[in-house]
């Protein structure tokens, strides 16, 4: 099979070898979970429980009205100890429900639902009620993606199996171990959207899973319209826009969404979660992620209840060389945030927890721009990072906008390739906020 790809990008060292062969370990017994109330991208939701309440595994503990909301469920059975602000994996404090296990293991799942005979609205409601959000990292509500406005016809469902971030192997393991869930989830989504075609975009460093995936597709009752497409192993191949362009040749218009080019993209984990929400009635309460990094002595792929605090897994399940840990990242090293501690819960969108040592977490002083143009070649959005950098430094936000500041997907490839260690994407993040603030101000002034 020929491999497809997009223009630009780079090849960060993959560093997946330590975990890519390791079967997923399932961990259900944890003493305590800290479940952030707001884990999704959208409108905030409110807790439905209070301190002292008895909760069952799978019981809804937070929700709100509104389209861009997704409920959150208790991931273990136990007693709500308190509800208080805690550090989340996005480096901000947010309200979290702390549940202490009572060991009863009581479950409160939804009844199973046949995704192929139920009504469309019923299916969408199930996906929402199961609390499913994009598990690749952004946490976009899944049901919103699956209910596009009528003027945006969808013709392709894409499973994002690129997993282009270094270290991370959880999606790869899910595909290897639960290919039927992936196919089933895709088939349900295709039915909900009324789409006849589905494609799994797989980076060719995982080509050895191709046969197993195709076998699962063949074996599935409703897998006939799903194909697997190999993609060149290149960062950020798993960026939604890059994936769509690689697979279809179309470009998502500036400021637009995948649905503007007839695509719906979900991560492998999201499809698996959707399959479970129908077959088992199980909400998204368990999260698989990769634990790795040079300071981690026991790299592995692990599934834990959402809200499990990583430090509570040390040293029983994760052994660290604590002295050597220099950087803790939730997610992948290219886009994941660095945290000041690993006493932070695993969330629905946590794909990895990395403990980097000094050799992996180097810090460099910013040098002068050579104008070598490496960032321009690497930019997957074909922006001009070097010129953006100049205009933001000069506080010329109008120029920055014209060069495409708001089109930046913040993949970090420019900073990765810069020989002068210039904090390009970092500066663009700040620039974006400044530009948005400026626009808001102008809009207010115009409104007066």
Contact residues toward other proteins (CB under 8 A) are: 10, 12-13, 166, 241, 245, 251-256, 311, 322-323, 325-329, 333-343, 356, 360-364, 367-374, 376, 380-384, 386-387, 403-404, 407, 412-413, 415-417, 419-421, 423, 425-426, 429
Question: Distance between CA atoms of 418 and 316, rounded to whole angstroms?
Answer: 40
Task: Choose between 285 and 408: whose C-beta lies nearer to other proteins.
Answer: 408
Q: How far is the CB of 198 from other proteins (least distance, A)?
A: 24
Instruction: Note whether 204 and 234 are within 8 A (CB).
Output: no
How many C-beta neighbours within 10 Å does residue 375 have?
28
Nearer to other proteins, 37 or 259 (CB): 259
Q: Report in angstroms how near the CB of residue 330 gets to other proteins at its nearest.
A: 11
Q: How remote is the C-alpha of 444 from its chain's centroid?
A: 34
What distance in Å separates the CA atoms of residue 153 and residue 170, rounded to the nearest whole number?
Answer: 32
State the nearest-atom distance from the C-beta of 269 to other proteins, in Å: 20
Q: Which two tokens stand for residue 387?
A: 């010129």
Nearer to other proteins, 48 or 406 (CB): 406
CB-based contact 345:89 (threshold 8 Å): yes
Least separation in angstroms between residue 423's CB and other proteins is 7
Closer of 304 and 375 to other proteins (Cβ) = 375
- Residue 326: partners with Cβ closer than 8 Å, 6 or more residues away: 295, 356, 357, 358, 360, 361
Query: Cβ closer to other proteins: 63 or 360?
Result: 360
Smallest gap from residue 6 Cβ to other proteins (A): 9
In sequence order, the β-bridge partners of residue 124 are: none
Whole-number minimum distance, CB 168 to other proteins, in Å?
13
Q: At what angle do helices 170-177 and 268-279 cross, to 10 degrees?
A: 50
CB 355 within 8 A of CB 320: yes
Q: Hunting for tokens 């409920």 — which residue is that?
A: 71
Distance in angstroms between the alpha carbons of the first and the last residue of the chain: 59
Q: How far is the CB of 322 from other proteins (least distance, A)?
A: 6
Buried b (16+ CB within 10 A) or exposed e, 52-71: ebebbbbbbbbbbeeeebbb
Neighbouring CB atoms inside 10 A of 421's CB total: 13
In the complex with other proteins, the residue whose CB is nearer, 102 or 251, is 251
d(C-alpha 276, C-alpha 299), whole Å? 26
Of residues 66 and 256, the one with the C-beta less far from other proteins = 256
The nearer residue to other proteins, 111 or 340, going by C-beta atoms, is 340
Q: Whole-number minimum distance, CB 52 to other proteins, in Å? A: 28
DSSP calls for 408-435: -----HHHHH-TT---HHHHHHHHHHHH
Comparing CB distances to other proteins, the nearer of 217 and 295 is 295
């Amino acid at each position: 099979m020929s491999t497809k790809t997009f223009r630009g990008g780079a090849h960060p060292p993959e560093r997946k070898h330590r975990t890519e062969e390791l079967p997923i370990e399932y961990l259900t017994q944890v003493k305590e979970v800290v479940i952030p109330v707001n884990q999704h991208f959208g409108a905030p939701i409110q807790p439905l429980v209070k301190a002292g309440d008895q909760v069952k595994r799978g019981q809804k503990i937070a929700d709100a009205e509104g389209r861009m909301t997704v409920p959150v469920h208790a991931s273990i059975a136990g007693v709500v100890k308190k509800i208080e602000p805690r550090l989340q994996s996005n480096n901000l404090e947010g309200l979290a429900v702390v549940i202490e296990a009572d060991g009863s293991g009581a479950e409160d799942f939804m009844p199973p639902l046949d995704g192929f005979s139920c009504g469309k609205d019923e299916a969408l409601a199930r996906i929402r009620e199961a609390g499913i959000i994009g598990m690749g990292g952004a946490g976009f509500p899944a049901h919103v993606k699956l209910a596009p406005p009528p003027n945006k016809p969808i013709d392709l469902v894409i499973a994002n199996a690129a997993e282009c971030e270094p270290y991370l192997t959880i999606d790869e393991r899910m595909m290897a171990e639960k290919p039927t869930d992936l196919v089933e989830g895709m088939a349900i989504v295709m039915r909900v959207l009324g789409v006849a075609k589905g494609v799994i975009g797989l980076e060719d460093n995982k080509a050895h899973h191709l046969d197993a995936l195709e076998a699962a597709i063949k074996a599935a009752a409703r897998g006939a319209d799903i194909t697997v497409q190999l993609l060149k192993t290149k960062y950020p191949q798993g960026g939604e826009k890059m994936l769509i362009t690689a697979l279809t040749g179309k470009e998502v218009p500036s400021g637009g969404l995948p649905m503007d080019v007839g695509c719906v993209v979900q991560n492998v984990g999201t499809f698996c979660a959707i399959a479970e929400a129908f077959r088992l009635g199980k909400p998204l309460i368990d999260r698989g992620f990769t634990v790795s990094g040079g300071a981690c002595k026991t790299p592995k792929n692990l599934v834990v209840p959402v809200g499990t605090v990583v430090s509570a897994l040390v040293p029983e399940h994760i052994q660290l060389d604590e002295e050597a840990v220099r950087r803790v990242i939730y997610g992948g090293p290219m886009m994941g945030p660095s945290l000041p501690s690993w006493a932070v819960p695993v969330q629905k969108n946590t794909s990895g927890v990395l403990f980097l040592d000094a050799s992996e977490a180097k810090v460099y002083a910013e040098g002068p721009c050579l104008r070598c143009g490496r960032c321009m070649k690497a930019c997957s959005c074909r922006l001009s990072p070097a010129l953006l950098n100049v205009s933001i430094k000069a506080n010329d936000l109008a120029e920055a906008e014209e060069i495409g500041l708001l089109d930046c997907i913040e993949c970090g490839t420019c900073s990765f390739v810069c020989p002068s260690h210039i904090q390009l994407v970092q500066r663009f993040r700040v620039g974006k906020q400044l530009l948005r603030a400026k626009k808001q101000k102008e809009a207010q002034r115009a409104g007066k």
